[in-house]
Amino acid sequence: MAFEGLAERLQSTIKKITGKGKVSEQDVKEMAREVRLALLEADVNYKVVKDLIKRIRERAVGQEVMESLTPGQQVIKVVKEELTELMGGEQSKIAVSDRPPTVIMMVGLQGAGKTTTSGKLANLLRKKHNRSPLLVACDIYRPAAIKQLETLGKQLDMPVFSLGTDTNPVEIAAKALEKAKADHHDYVIIDTAGRLHVDGDLMAELTEMKEKVQPDEIFLVVDAMTGQDAVNVAESFNEQLDITGVILTKLDGDTRGGAALSIKAVTDKPIKFAGMGEKLDQLEAFHPERMASRILGMGDVLSLIEKAQETVNEKQAKELEEKMRTMSFTFDDFLEQMDQVKKMGPLDELISMLPGANKMKGLKNIQVDEKQLSHVEAIIQSMTKQERQDPSIINSSRKKRIAKGSGTTVSQVNRLLKQFNEMKKMMKQMTQVQKGKKKGKGMK
């Protein structure tokens, strides 16, 4: 996960000041110094750091803090607000043209993740916003890129417009627009060509395309792993094309996060989305405030809730509640639950969104053992239908069979059965408490 080092340093700095009932100018000075070092180490642009620290110091020693009841917390609030502001303040929404289709040009260097992100964005627009996008392959210099987009289109069951490698990209884009209008697509996502470096020919082509198709958005896709280079690339693309937003990819990787924290300040263009993995559903709207919260160890509960809402539908949740109440929760339900949690994303990513996750030693060092989960799954899948419904019939010969079928051991099977029983017991207690409450008895 990105920002880990930065988060750790900032959090230990902040811890020192949190409980303080009184914050002296010296305290603020020391904190500002440490925040400055942490940011520089995270590869945040030098000038950006300088301005940010200046603002934090001014605000932290000013009226705002002195008048507050708990100055320590107030200082942290200032740091959080400034970090949020640094990353763009409000979350920036994607444009919607009042004369559809809305046209989006995806630009960026080769390998930044442009093609993948085009697919991800189309997927997100359809899934979350109920839109019907048309993907357009304009990287005629790399036939593999066209193929890649077509493959993504197939995976997503989404149309891809391409005219091969012999037509001029500007022409392809213009034709795609006509096609989108005729077929009533409301978004057009153009995957343009990339180069290894910022290059005059490419810029000329992109500028010509921009004039021709009049895009509503020009998204620059940059690789967060490239640190300060990402910031430089953003600066040159912005100068030449006047981009409307940035999509940062590979934020799931081990990046120091400096790019995310500098791009808005340097280009004055918002980060609109963040790529959090290679899969097609791993693109998230970028929320500066939530990101600042995450960096400062305050968690990102809102994103967690959103993820849960996306994967768990209300009807299923109600059914589950009913099963818990009537004690008819079975291994089949258990399997389904695991599936839903898995759909929310990798477990360590989910844990990183919990408040204080960085600070809890146990949690931080938790190696979320996805393998162990797959063992659990294999064990349940090796049970017969009857066994899943009524685990009490699982005797020792059945246990042996299940262990063999799932490639595990009898003691692993025993452990799971025990855990399942305990879980049921807990559910029973919980539902009894609730019933008690309903009857007005409550717990004493």
Q: State the binding site for GTP.
A: 108-115, 191-195, 249-252
Determine which residue in the list 88, 108, 257, 299 makes contact with ligand GDP, applying CB under 6 A: 108
Nearer to ligand GDP, 286 or 331 (CB): 286
Nearer to ligand GDP, 277 or 391 (CB): 277
Determine which residue in the list 114, 131, 256, 264 makes contact with ligand GDP, applying CB under 6 A: 114
- Rounded CA gap, 11 and 22, in Å? 19
Q: Which DSSP state fits 280?
A: T
* Cis bond upstream, residue 159 (ω within 30): no
271-290 footprint of ligand GDP as x/- string (CB under 6 A): ----xxxx------------
Nearer to ligand GDP, 27 or 191 (CB): 191
**Distance of closest approach, residue 79 Cβ to ligand GDP, in angstroms:** 27
Nearer to ligand GDP, 191 or 216 (CB): 191
**Distance of closest approach, residue 109 Cβ to ligand GDP, in angstroms:** 7
Inter-residue contact 89 to 200 (CB < 8 Å) = no
Verify binding: residue 257, ligand GDP, rule CB under 6 A. no
The sign of the dihedral angle between the CA atoms of 263, 216, 207, 242 is: negative
79 C-beta neighbours (distance < 10 Å), count: 24
Inter-residue contact 228 to 259 (CB < 8 Å) = yes
**Distance of closest approach, residue 194 Cβ to ligand GDP, in angstroms:** 5
Determine which residue in the list 45, 84, 92, 115 makes contact with ligand GDP, applying CB under 6 A: 115
- Rounded CA gap, 436 and 24, in Å? 52
> What are the angstrom distances between the C-alpha of 221 and each of 101, 112, 115?
21, 6, 9
**Distance of closest approach, residue 331 Cβ to ligand GDP, in angstroms:** 34
Closest CB to ligand GDP belongs to which residue?
275
Verify binding: residue 100, ligand GDP, rule CB under 6 A. no
Verify binding: residue 250, ligand GDP, rule CB under 6 A. yes
316 C-beta neighbours (distance < 10 Å), count: 14
Verify binding: residue 113, ligand GDP, rule CB under 6 A. yes
**Distance of closest approach, residue 28 Cβ to ligand GDP, in angstroms:** 37
**Distance of closest approach, residue 225 Cβ to ligand GDP, in angstroms:** 9
Inter-residue contact 358 to 8 (CB < 8 Å) = yes
Verify binding: residue 192, ligand GDP, rule CB under 6 A. no
**Distance of closest approach, residue 241 Cβ to ligand GDP, in angstroms:** 16
Nearer to ligand GDP, 2 or 31 (CB): 2
- Rounded CA gap, 164 and 166, in Å? 6
- Rounded CA gap, 444 and 441, in Å? 8
Where does this chain touch ligand GDP (CB under 6 A) — which range of 107-115, 175-183, 349-357, 385-393?
Answer: 107-115
Verify binding: residue 399, ligand GDP, rule CB under 6 A. no
379-398 footprint of ligand GDP as x/- string (CB under 6 A): --------------------
Verify binding: residue 61, ligand GDP, rule CB under 6 A. no
> What are the angstrom distances between the C-alpha of 53 and each of 48, 67, 82, 424, 429?
9, 21, 9, 53, 52
Q: Which DSSP state fits 91?
A: P
- Rounded CA gap, 60 and 71, in Å? 9
- Nearest Cα to 158, choosing from 129, 118, 98? 118
Q: Give residues with Cβ within 8 angstroms of 414, minimum separation 6.
A: 399
Verify binding: residue 111, ligand GDP, rule CB under 6 A. yes
- Rounded CA gap, 287 and 298, in Å? 14
Interacting residues toward ligand GDP by CB under 6 A: 108, 110-116, 194, 249-250, 252-253, 275-278
